[in-house]
Protein backbone atom coordinates (compact mmCIF):
# COMPACT_ATOMS: atom_id res chain seq x y z
CA UNK A 1 0.00 0.00 0.00
CA UNK A 2 1.33 3.43 -0.93
CA UNK A 3 2.45 5.70 1.86
CA UNK A 4 -0.02 8.42 2.80
CA UNK A 5 0.99 12.08 2.71
CA UNK A 6 -0.67 14.45 5.15
CA UNK A 7 -1.15 18.04 4.03
CA UNK A 8 -0.67 20.90 6.45
CA UNK A 9 -3.83 22.61 7.64
CA UNK A 10 -4.34 25.89 5.79
CA UNK A 11 -4.06 28.05 8.89
CA UNK A 12 -0.73 26.41 9.81
CA UNK A 13 1.10 26.88 6.49
CA UNK A 14 4.38 28.80 6.83
CA UNK A 15 4.35 31.00 3.73
CA UNK A 16 8.03 31.85 4.17
CA UNK A 17 8.88 28.18 3.69
CA UNK A 18 6.85 27.73 0.49
CA UNK A 19 9.05 26.90 -2.50
CA UNK A 20 7.77 27.29 -6.03
CA UNK A 21 7.99 24.04 -7.99
CA UNK A 22 7.87 24.21 -11.76
CA UNK A 23 5.34 21.70 -13.07
CA UNK A 24 5.82 19.91 -16.35
CA UNK A 25 2.61 18.43 -17.71
CA UNK A 26 3.37 15.14 -19.44
CA UNK A 27 1.07 14.50 -22.39
CA UNK A 28 1.61 13.50 -26.02
CA UNK A 29 1.69 16.34 -28.57
CA UNK A 30 -0.32 14.91 -31.45
CA UNK A 31 -2.10 16.22 -34.54
CA UNK A 32 -3.75 14.81 -37.63
CA UNK A 33 -3.74 11.06 -38.20
CA UNK A 34 -1.61 10.36 -35.13
CA UNK A 35 -4.14 12.19 -32.97
CA UNK A 36 -7.07 10.25 -34.46
CA UNK A 37 -5.23 6.97 -33.84
CA UNK A 38 -4.48 7.97 -30.24
CA UNK A 39 -8.17 8.80 -29.60
CA UNK A 40 -9.18 5.42 -31.02
CA UNK A 41 -6.70 3.61 -28.75
CA UNK A 42 -7.68 5.59 -25.63
CA UNK A 43 -11.37 4.81 -26.20
CA UNK A 44 -10.65 1.11 -26.73
CA UNK A 45 -11.43 -1.32 -23.86
CA UNK A 46 -8.63 -2.25 -21.44
CA UNK A 47 -5.72 -0.60 -23.27
CA UNK A 48 -7.39 2.81 -23.09
CA UNK A 49 -7.74 2.59 -19.31
CA UNK A 50 -4.08 1.58 -19.00
CA UNK A 51 -2.92 4.61 -21.03
CA UNK A 52 -5.07 7.03 -19.00
CA UNK A 53 -3.81 5.47 -15.76
CA UNK A 54 -0.21 5.94 -16.94
CA UNK A 55 -0.81 9.61 -17.83
CA UNK A 56 -2.35 10.21 -14.40
CA UNK A 57 0.67 8.68 -12.67
CA UNK A 58 3.14 10.64 -14.81
CA UNK A 59 1.36 13.88 -13.85
CA UNK A 60 1.28 12.95 -10.12
CA UNK A 61 -2.51 12.83 -10.07
CA UNK A 62 -2.85 9.27 -8.78
CA UNK A 63 -0.75 9.72 -5.61
CA UNK A 64 -2.27 13.13 -4.98
CA UNK A 65 -5.87 11.93 -5.24
CA UNK A 66 -5.47 8.53 -3.59
CA UNK A 67 -2.68 8.91 -1.08
CA UNK A 68 -3.16 12.41 0.34
CA UNK A 69 -4.78 13.18 3.68
CA UNK A 70 -6.47 16.60 3.71
CA UNK A 71 -7.08 17.89 7.26
CA UNK A 72 -9.97 20.20 6.35
CA UNK A 73 -13.53 18.90 6.00
CA UNK A 74 -14.77 18.77 2.41
CA UNK A 75 -16.52 21.89 1.09
CA UNK A 76 -19.24 21.14 -1.43
CA UNK A 77 -19.82 24.75 -2.49
CA UNK A 78 -17.66 27.86 -2.22
CA UNK A 79 -18.26 30.02 0.83
CA UNK A 80 -18.07 33.78 1.13
CA UNK A 81 -15.84 34.85 4.03
CA UNK A 82 -17.13 37.79 6.09
CA UNK A 83 -16.15 41.03 4.38
CA UNK A 84 -15.72 44.58 5.57
CA UNK A 85 -17.82 47.19 3.72
CA UNK A 86 -15.98 48.23 0.57
CA UNK A 87 -15.37 51.96 0.02
CA UNK A 88 -16.39 53.73 -3.16
CA UNK A 89 -19.08 51.29 -4.24
CA UNK A 90 -22.86 51.37 -4.63
CA UNK A 91 -24.96 48.36 -3.63
CA UNK A 92 -27.44 46.83 -6.07
CA UNK A 93 -30.75 45.17 -5.21
CA UNK A 94 -30.52 41.67 -6.65
CA UNK A 95 -34.23 41.13 -5.93
CA UNK A 96 -35.23 44.23 -7.89
CA UNK A 97 -35.88 44.68 -11.59
CA UNK A 98 -32.85 44.32 -13.90
CA UNK A 99 -33.63 47.65 -15.57
CA UNK A 100 -33.60 49.37 -12.15
CA UNK A 101 -30.17 47.92 -11.35
CA UNK A 102 -28.91 49.09 -14.74
CA UNK A 103 -30.14 52.59 -13.97
CA UNK A 104 -28.24 52.59 -10.66
CA UNK A 105 -25.07 51.38 -12.42
CA UNK A 106 -25.52 54.04 -15.10
CA UNK A 107 -25.45 56.77 -12.45
CA UNK A 108 -22.11 55.38 -11.22
CA UNK A 109 -20.39 56.12 -14.55
CA UNK A 110 -18.55 59.35 -15.37
CA UNK A 111 -20.61 61.95 -17.20
CA UNK A 112 -21.12 61.11 -20.86
CA UNK A 113 -19.70 63.54 -23.41
CA UNK A 114 -21.29 63.10 -26.86
CA UNK A 115 -18.63 65.31 -28.43
CA UNK A 116 -16.05 62.56 -27.89
CA UNK A 117 -17.87 60.46 -30.51
CA UNK A 118 -20.15 62.70 -32.50
CA UNK A 119 -17.73 65.41 -33.62
CA UNK A 120 -18.83 65.55 -37.24
CA UNK A 121 -15.72 63.78 -38.57
CA UNK A 122 -16.93 61.65 -41.48
CA UNK A 123 -13.57 59.94 -42.05
CA UNK A 124 -14.20 56.18 -41.84
CA UNK A 125 -12.20 54.54 -39.07
CA UNK A 126 -12.69 51.65 -36.70
CA UNK A 127 -13.66 52.33 -33.12
CA UNK A 128 -15.58 50.56 -30.40
CA UNK A 129 -19.03 52.09 -29.99
CA UNK A 130 -20.01 51.88 -26.34
CA UNK A 131 -23.49 51.23 -25.02
CA UNK A 132 -23.92 54.91 -24.17
CA UNK A 133 -22.89 55.84 -27.73
CA UNK A 134 -25.71 53.73 -29.15
CA UNK A 135 -28.13 55.04 -26.53
CA UNK A 136 -27.28 58.63 -27.47
CA UNK A 137 -27.62 57.88 -31.20
CA UNK A 138 -31.05 56.31 -30.72
CA UNK A 139 -32.36 59.09 -28.49
CA UNK A 140 -30.96 61.78 -30.79
CA UNK A 141 -32.47 60.06 -33.86
CA UNK A 142 -29.02 59.72 -35.45
CA UNK A 143 -29.75 56.01 -35.92
CA UNK A 144 -32.34 53.38 -35.06
CA UNK A 145 -31.94 49.78 -33.88
CA UNK A 146 -33.39 48.63 -37.22
CA UNK A 147 -30.75 50.51 -39.20
CA UNK A 148 -27.97 49.10 -37.01
CA UNK A 149 -29.46 45.61 -37.34
CA UNK A 150 -29.16 45.71 -41.12
CA UNK A 151 -25.48 46.64 -40.88
CA UNK A 152 -24.82 43.81 -38.42
CA UNK A 153 -26.70 41.23 -40.52
CA UNK A 154 -24.73 42.26 -43.60
CA UNK A 155 -21.35 42.01 -41.86
CA UNK A 156 -22.13 38.66 -40.21
CA UNK A 157 -22.93 37.22 -43.65
CA UNK A 158 -19.71 38.75 -44.97
CA UNK A 159 -17.68 37.09 -42.18
CA UNK A 160 -19.25 33.71 -42.98
CA UNK A 161 -18.30 34.04 -46.66
CA UNK A 162 -14.67 35.01 -46.05
CA UNK A 163 -11.85 32.75 -47.22
CA UNK A 164 -11.14 31.09 -44.89
CA UNK A 165 -14.59 31.40 -43.23
CA UNK A 166 -14.89 33.16 -39.89
CA UNK A 167 -17.95 31.52 -38.31
CA UNK A 168 -18.82 33.80 -35.40
CA UNK A 169 -22.30 32.38 -34.83
CA UNK A 170 -23.59 28.82 -34.69
CA UNK A 171 -27.26 29.84 -34.74
CA UNK A 172 -28.26 33.00 -36.60
CA UNK A 173 -31.69 34.06 -37.85
CA UNK A 174 -31.70 37.45 -39.61
CA UNK A 175 -35.50 37.72 -39.44
CA UNK A 176 -35.45 37.16 -35.68
CA UNK A 177 -32.88 39.95 -35.33
CA UNK A 178 -34.98 42.25 -37.52
CA UNK A 179 -38.09 41.51 -35.45
CA UNK A 180 -36.35 42.39 -32.18
CA UNK A 181 -34.85 45.54 -33.72
CA UNK A 182 -38.24 46.66 -35.07
CA UNK A 183 -39.81 46.29 -31.62
CA UNK A 184 -36.98 48.33 -30.09
CA UNK A 185 -37.24 50.99 -32.80
CA UNK A 186 -40.97 51.31 -32.11
CA UNK A 187 -40.32 51.80 -28.38
CA UNK A 188 -37.94 54.65 -29.17
CA UNK A 189 -40.45 56.21 -31.58
CA UNK A 190 -43.05 56.11 -28.82
CA UNK A 191 -40.59 57.51 -26.28
CA UNK A 192 -40.65 54.38 -24.11
CA UNK A 193 -37.25 52.65 -24.17
CA UNK A 194 -36.98 50.00 -21.48
CA UNK A 195 -33.49 50.96 -20.28
CA UNK A 196 -30.09 52.19 -21.44
CA UNK A 197 -29.67 48.65 -22.85
CA UNK A 198 -32.69 48.93 -25.15
CA UNK A 199 -31.56 48.38 -28.74
CA UNK A 200 -28.12 47.12 -27.70
CA UNK A 201 -26.93 44.07 -29.65
CA UNK A 202 -25.64 41.16 -27.57
CA UNK A 203 -24.43 37.67 -28.52
CA UNK A 204 -25.04 34.60 -26.36
CA UNK A 205 -22.58 31.73 -26.09
CA UNK A 206 -23.95 28.48 -27.48
CA UNK A 207 -24.13 26.78 -24.07
CA UNK A 208 -26.60 29.36 -22.67
CA UNK A 209 -30.29 29.08 -23.56
CA UNK A 210 -31.70 31.91 -25.69
CA UNK A 211 -35.14 31.06 -27.05
CA UNK A 212 -35.96 30.29 -29.86
CA UNK A 213 -32.38 29.31 -30.73
CA UNK A 214 -31.18 25.78 -29.93
CA UNK A 215 -28.32 25.27 -27.49
CA UNK A 216 -25.80 22.95 -29.13
CA UNK A 217 -22.78 23.64 -26.94
CA UNK A 218 -20.68 23.55 -30.09
CA UNK A 219 -21.71 19.93 -30.76
CA UNK A 220 -23.68 18.43 -33.64
CA UNK A 221 -26.09 16.50 -31.40
CA UNK A 222 -26.95 18.32 -28.16
CA UNK A 223 -29.98 20.15 -29.60
CA UNK A 224 -31.46 16.80 -30.67
CA UNK A 225 -31.65 15.50 -27.09
CA UNK A 226 -32.11 18.76 -25.17
CA UNK A 227 -34.87 21.18 -26.16
CA UNK A 228 -34.73 24.89 -25.35
CA UNK A 229 -38.13 26.00 -24.07
CA UNK A 230 -37.25 29.35 -22.51
CA UNK A 231 -34.43 31.80 -21.91
CA UNK A 232 -31.71 31.20 -19.36
CA UNK A 233 -32.18 33.38 -16.28
CA UNK A 234 -29.41 35.79 -17.31
CA UNK A 235 -30.80 36.07 -20.85
CA UNK A 236 -34.32 36.77 -19.59
CA UNK A 237 -32.96 39.59 -17.44
CA UNK A 238 -31.26 41.17 -20.44
CA UNK A 239 -34.39 40.72 -22.56
CA UNK A 240 -36.43 42.65 -19.98
CA UNK A 241 -34.01 45.56 -20.51
CA UNK A 242 -34.66 45.62 -24.27
CA UNK A 243 -31.47 43.89 -25.43
CA UNK A 244 -31.44 42.54 -29.01
CA UNK A 245 -29.91 39.07 -29.30
CA UNK A 246 -28.00 38.45 -32.53
CA UNK A 247 -27.78 34.68 -32.05
CA UNK A 248 -25.76 31.88 -30.48
CA UNK A 249 -22.02 32.46 -30.60
CA UNK A 250 -19.42 29.87 -31.58
CA UNK A 251 -17.44 28.10 -28.87
CA UNK A 252 -14.96 25.33 -28.17
CA UNK A 253 -17.02 22.13 -28.20
CA UNK A 254 -18.69 21.65 -24.79
CA UNK A 255 -16.31 24.27 -23.40
CA UNK A 256 -13.58 21.67 -22.98
CA UNK A 257 -10.65 23.65 -24.36
CA UNK A 258 -8.95 27.01 -24.26
CA UNK A 259 -8.19 27.62 -27.95
CA UNK A 260 -11.72 28.09 -29.30
CA UNK A 261 -11.14 25.49 -31.99
CA UNK A 262 -14.36 23.87 -33.26
CA UNK A 263 -14.21 21.25 -36.00
CA UNK A 264 -18.01 21.02 -36.26
CA UNK A 265 -18.82 24.59 -37.29
CA UNK A 266 -15.42 26.02 -38.05
CA UNK A 267 -13.17 28.02 -35.77
CA UNK A 268 -13.78 31.66 -34.92
CA UNK A 269 -10.71 33.74 -35.70
CA UNK A 270 -9.12 36.57 -33.79
CA UNK A 271 -10.35 39.82 -35.40
CA UNK A 272 -7.01 41.51 -34.68
CA UNK A 273 -5.00 38.70 -36.31
CA UNK A 274 -7.12 36.24 -38.33
CA UNK A 275 -4.27 33.74 -38.45
CA UNK A 276 -4.41 33.41 -34.65
CA UNK A 277 -6.81 31.80 -32.19
CA UNK A 278 -9.36 33.79 -30.21
CA UNK A 279 -8.78 31.70 -27.12
CA UNK A 280 -11.62 29.75 -25.56
CA UNK A 281 -13.92 28.43 -24.77
CA UNK A 282 -16.04 31.60 -25.27
CA UNK A 283 -14.41 32.18 -28.65
CA UNK A 284 -17.41 33.51 -30.57
CA UNK A 285 -18.53 35.97 -27.87
CA UNK A 286 -15.04 37.50 -27.59
CA UNK A 287 -14.57 37.66 -31.38
CA UNK A 288 -17.96 39.31 -31.92
CA UNK A 289 -17.19 42.00 -29.36
CA UNK A 290 -13.61 42.47 -30.59
CA UNK A 291 -14.83 42.85 -34.18
CA UNK A 292 -17.15 45.67 -33.08
CA UNK A 293 -20.31 43.85 -34.18
CA UNK A 294 -21.77 43.56 -30.68
CA UNK A 295 -21.50 45.89 -27.72
CA UNK A 296 -21.42 42.90 -25.39
CA UNK A 297 -21.81 39.14 -25.15
CA UNK A 298 -22.48 36.53 -22.49
CA UNK A 299 -20.01 33.72 -21.94
CA UNK A 300 -19.44 30.99 -19.40
CA UNK A 301 -16.28 30.44 -17.38
CA UNK A 302 -15.19 27.59 -15.16
CA UNK A 303 -11.45 27.67 -15.84
CA UNK A 304 -10.72 30.76 -17.92
CA UNK A 305 -13.34 30.49 -20.67
CA UNK A 306 -14.29 34.18 -20.45
CA UNK A 307 -10.94 35.53 -19.28
CA UNK A 308 -8.71 33.81 -21.86
CA UNK A 309 -10.54 34.83 -25.07
CA UNK A 310 -11.18 38.33 -23.70
CA UNK A 311 -7.46 38.72 -23.09
CA UNK A 312 -6.40 37.32 -26.47
CA UNK A 313 -8.98 39.45 -28.32
CA UNK A 314 -8.18 42.64 -26.42
CA UNK A 315 -11.58 43.14 -24.79
CA UNK A 316 -12.91 43.09 -21.21
CA UNK A 317 -14.26 39.89 -19.66
CA UNK A 318 -15.62 39.44 -16.15
CA UNK A 319 -15.49 36.05 -14.46
CA UNK A 320 -18.00 36.84 -11.75
CA UNK A 321 -17.64 35.36 -8.28
CA UNK A 322 -19.43 32.03 -8.08
CA UNK A 323 -23.09 32.56 -7.23
CA UNK A 324 -23.24 36.23 -8.21
CA UNK A 325 -25.11 35.33 -11.40
CA UNK A 326 -27.74 32.61 -11.75
CA UNK A 327 -26.43 29.89 -14.05
CA UNK A 328 -29.86 28.34 -14.56
CA UNK A 329 -30.52 27.60 -18.22
CA UNK A 330 -26.95 26.76 -19.22
CA UNK A 331 -25.71 23.31 -20.22
CA UNK A 332 -23.67 22.88 -17.04
CA UNK A 333 -25.96 24.52 -14.50
CA UNK A 334 -25.37 22.25 -11.52
CA UNK A 335 -21.67 22.75 -10.83
CA UNK A 336 -19.58 24.70 -8.36
CA UNK A 337 -17.04 26.39 -10.64
CA UNK A 338 -18.83 27.56 -13.80
CA UNK A 339 -20.47 30.98 -14.01
CA UNK A 340 -22.15 33.20 -16.60
CA UNK A 341 -20.47 36.56 -17.14
CA UNK A 342 -20.26 39.49 -19.55
CA UNK A 343 -17.74 40.35 -22.26
CA UNK A 344 -17.60 43.91 -23.64
CA UNK A 345 -15.16 46.33 -25.20
CA UNK A 346 -15.01 48.59 -22.12
CA UNK A 347 -15.20 48.30 -18.35
CA UNK A 348 -18.25 50.57 -18.21
CA UNK A 349 -20.17 48.33 -20.61
CA UNK A 350 -19.26 45.26 -18.55
CA UNK A 351 -20.64 47.10 -15.50
CA UNK A 352 -23.95 47.82 -17.21
CA UNK A 353 -24.45 44.26 -18.48
CA UNK A 354 -23.32 42.75 -15.17
CA UNK A 355 -25.80 44.90 -13.25
CA UNK A 356 -28.59 43.53 -15.46
CA UNK A 357 -27.74 39.83 -15.14
CA UNK A 358 -26.63 39.65 -11.51
CA UNK A 359 -28.74 37.93 -8.91
CA UNK A 360 -27.94 34.85 -6.86
CA UNK A 361 -30.28 31.89 -7.19
CA UNK A 362 -32.29 31.13 -4.06
CA UNK A 363 -30.44 27.86 -3.44
CA UNK A 364 -27.03 29.54 -3.72
CA UNK A 365 -28.11 32.46 -1.55
CA UNK A 366 -29.05 30.12 1.28
CA UNK A 367 -25.82 28.11 1.10
CA UNK A 368 -23.33 30.86 0.21
CA UNK A 369 -24.76 33.80 2.17
CA UNK A 370 -22.98 36.39 0.00
CA UNK A 371 -22.69 40.06 0.84
CA UNK A 372 -24.89 42.42 -1.22
CA UNK A 373 -23.65 42.90 -4.81
CA UNK A 374 -22.20 46.26 -5.73
CA UNK A 375 -20.51 48.22 -8.51
CA UNK A 376 -17.75 50.84 -8.23
CA UNK A 377 -18.94 54.43 -8.19
CA UNK A 378 -16.70 55.69 -10.98
CA UNK A 379 -18.42 59.08 -10.97
CA UNK A 380 -16.45 59.90 -7.81
CA UNK A 381 -13.09 59.64 -9.55
CA UNK A 382 -11.40 60.92 -12.64
CA UNK A 383 -10.29 58.26 -15.12
CA UNK A 384 -6.69 58.15 -13.88
CA UNK A 385 -7.40 57.83 -10.15
CA UNK A 386 -10.26 55.32 -10.09
CA UNK A 387 -7.90 52.39 -9.39
CA UNK A 388 -5.67 54.09 -6.85
CA UNK A 389 -7.03 52.18 -3.84
CA UNK A 390 -6.34 48.72 -5.29
CA UNK A 391 -3.58 46.42 -4.05
CA UNK A 392 -2.43 43.87 -6.63
CA UNK A 393 -0.73 40.65 -5.54
CA UNK A 394 2.11 39.26 -7.65
CA UNK A 395 3.64 35.81 -7.17
CA UNK A 396 6.84 36.55 -9.07
CA UNK A 397 8.10 32.97 -9.39
CA UNK A 398 4.80 31.84 -10.91
CA UNK A 399 4.39 35.07 -12.90
CA UNK A 400 7.70 34.47 -14.69
CA UNK A 401 7.14 30.75 -15.35
CA UNK A 402 6.12 31.18 -18.99
CA UNK A 403 7.00 29.67 -22.35
CA UNK A 404 8.50 32.92 -23.63
CA UNK A 405 9.71 36.03 -21.82
CA UNK A 406 7.74 38.03 -24.39
CA UNK A 407 4.65 37.03 -22.39
CA UNK A 408 5.95 37.98 -18.95
CA UNK A 409 7.45 41.22 -20.32
CA UNK A 410 4.07 42.32 -21.70
CA UNK A 411 2.37 41.39 -18.44
CA UNK A 412 5.02 43.35 -16.54
CA UNK A 413 4.30 46.37 -18.75
CA UNK A 414 0.63 46.12 -17.78
CA UNK A 415 1.50 45.99 -14.08
CA UNK A 416 3.80 48.99 -14.44
CA UNK A 417 1.01 50.91 -16.14
CA UNK A 418 -1.39 50.10 -13.31
CA UNK A 419 1.20 51.02 -10.72
CA UNK A 420 2.85 54.14 -12.15
CA UNK A 421 -0.08 55.66 -14.04
CA UNK A 422 -3.07 54.58 -11.97
CA UNK A 423 -1.50 54.36 -8.50
CA UNK A 424 -2.14 50.69 -7.73
CA UNK A 425 0.05 49.15 -5.04
CA UNK A 426 2.00 46.01 -5.97
CA UNK A 427 2.39 43.43 -3.21
CA UNK A 428 4.58 40.33 -3.40
CA UNK A 429 2.57 37.24 -2.44
CA UNK A 430 3.03 33.48 -2.22
CA UNK A 431 0.40 30.94 -3.28
CA UNK A 432 0.97 27.53 -1.67
CA UNK A 433 -0.31 24.20 -2.99
CA UNK A 434 -0.61 25.27 -6.63
CA UNK A 435 -0.32 21.70 -7.92
CA UNK A 436 -2.98 20.52 -5.50
CA UNK A 437 -5.32 23.33 -6.55
CA UNK A 438 -4.79 22.62 -10.25
CA UNK A 439 -5.60 18.95 -9.74
CA UNK A 440 -8.65 19.75 -7.61
CA UNK A 441 -9.96 22.10 -10.28
CA UNK A 442 -9.42 19.51 -13.01
CA UNK A 443 -11.36 16.91 -11.04
CA UNK A 444 -14.14 19.35 -10.09
CA UNK A 445 -14.85 20.82 -13.51
CA UNK A 446 -14.42 17.50 -15.29
CA UNK A 447 -16.75 15.55 -13.01
CA UNK A 448 -19.34 18.35 -12.93
CA UNK A 449 -19.38 18.60 -16.71
CA UNK A 450 -19.78 14.83 -16.95
CA UNK A 451 -22.61 14.88 -14.40
CA UNK A 452 -24.47 17.65 -16.24
CA UNK A 453 -24.13 16.01 -19.65
CA UNK A 454 -24.75 12.38 -18.68
CA UNK A 455 -28.57 12.56 -18.98
CA UNK A 456 -28.17 13.61 -22.61
CA UNK A 457 -25.24 11.33 -23.40
CA UNK A 458 -27.17 8.25 -22.27
CA UNK A 459 -29.32 8.52 -25.41
CA UNK A 460 -26.37 7.17 -27.35
CA UNK A 461 -25.08 10.28 -29.08
CA UNK A 462 -21.81 10.17 -27.22
CA UNK A 463 -20.24 8.23 -24.38
CA UNK A 464 -17.81 9.33 -21.70
Kindly state the average pLDDT of the residues 211-237.
97
% the chain with pLDDT above 90 = 73
Per-residue pLDDT at 387? 78
Q: What is the pLDDT of residues 381-390, one digit of tens each?
A: 765 566 777 8
Give the span between the Cα atoms of 169 and 172, in whole angstroms.
6
pLDDT in tens, 229-272: 999 999 999 999 999 999 999 999 999 999 999 999 999 999 99
Q: What is the DSSP letter of 346?
A: S
Q: Which of 102, 292, 290, 294 is nearest to 204 (CA)?
A: 294
Residues counted in the chain: 464
Active site (catalytic) residues: 205, 281, 305
> Which residues are bridge partners to 171 per DSSP?
248
Check pLDDT > 70 for residue 282: yes
Instruction: Classify 257 as helix, strand or coil.
Output: coil
Q: How confident is the model at residue 464 (pLDDT cuts 50, 70, 90)?
A: very low
From 72-76, 234-238, 275-279, 413-417, the region with the lowest mean pLDDT: 72-76
Whether 322 contacts 80, CB under 8 Å: no
Asked whether the predicted pLDDT for residue 32 surpasses 50, the reply is yes
Instruction: Convert the pLDDT of each residue in 139-178 to its tens digit.
Output: 999 999 999 999 999 999 998 888 888 899 999 999 999 9
CA neighbor of 190 nearest in space, from 202, 198, 179 = 198
Q: pTM for the full model?
A: 0.94
| pLDDT score of 357 | 99
Give the torsion through C-alpha atoms of 330, 336, 341, 347, to 10 deg: 180
The model's confidence at residue 366, banded by pLDDT at 50, 70 and 90, is low
Cβ distance 395 to 429 under 8 Å? Answer: yes
Residue 307: count other Cβ atoms within 10 Å of its Cβ: 20
H or E element, residue 310: helix 307-312
Distance, CA of 276 to CA of 313 (rounded, Å): 10
DSSP string across 391-408: EEEE-HHHHT-SS-HHHH
pLDDT score at 365: 72
pLDDT tens-digit profile of 41-66? 999 999 999 999 999 889 888 888 89
pLDDT band of residue 180 (cuts 50, 70, 90) is: very high
* H helix intervals, 313-433: 347-357, 362-368, 396-399, 405-416
Label residue 456 by pLDDT band (50, 70, 90): confident
440 membership: H or E segment, kind and range: helix 434-457
The per-residue pLDDT for 24 is 84
pLDDT in the model for residue 383: 57
Average pLDDT, the chain: 92
User: What structural domains does the chain harbor?
Assistant: 89-384 (3.90.1300.10), 390-464 (no CATH)
Among the residue ranges 73-82, 114-123, 354-363, the one predicted with the least confidence is 114-123
In this prediction, residue 399 carries a pLDDT of: 97
Beta-strand (E) ranges in 1-156? 5-6, 68-69, 89-91
Cα–Cα distance, 406 to 195 (Å, whole number): 43
Q: What is residue 463's predicted lDDT score, i.e. its pLDDT? A: 44
d(CA 305, CA 312): 11
The arithmetic mean of pLDDT across residues 222-232, rounded, is 95
Amino acid sequence: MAKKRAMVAAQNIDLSAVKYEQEEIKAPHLTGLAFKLFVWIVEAPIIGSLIISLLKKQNKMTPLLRNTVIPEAPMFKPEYPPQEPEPGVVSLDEDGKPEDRVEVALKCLPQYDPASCWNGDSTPSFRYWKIRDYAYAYRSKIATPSVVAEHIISVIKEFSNKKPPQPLLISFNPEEVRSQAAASTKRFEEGNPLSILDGIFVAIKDDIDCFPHPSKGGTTWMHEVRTVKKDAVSVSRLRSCGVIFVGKANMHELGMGTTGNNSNYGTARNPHAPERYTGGSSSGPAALVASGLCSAALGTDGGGSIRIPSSLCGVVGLKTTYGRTDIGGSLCDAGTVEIIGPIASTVEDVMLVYSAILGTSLADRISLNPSPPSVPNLSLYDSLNSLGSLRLGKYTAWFNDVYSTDISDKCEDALNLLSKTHGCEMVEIVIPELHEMRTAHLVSIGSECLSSLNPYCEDGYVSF
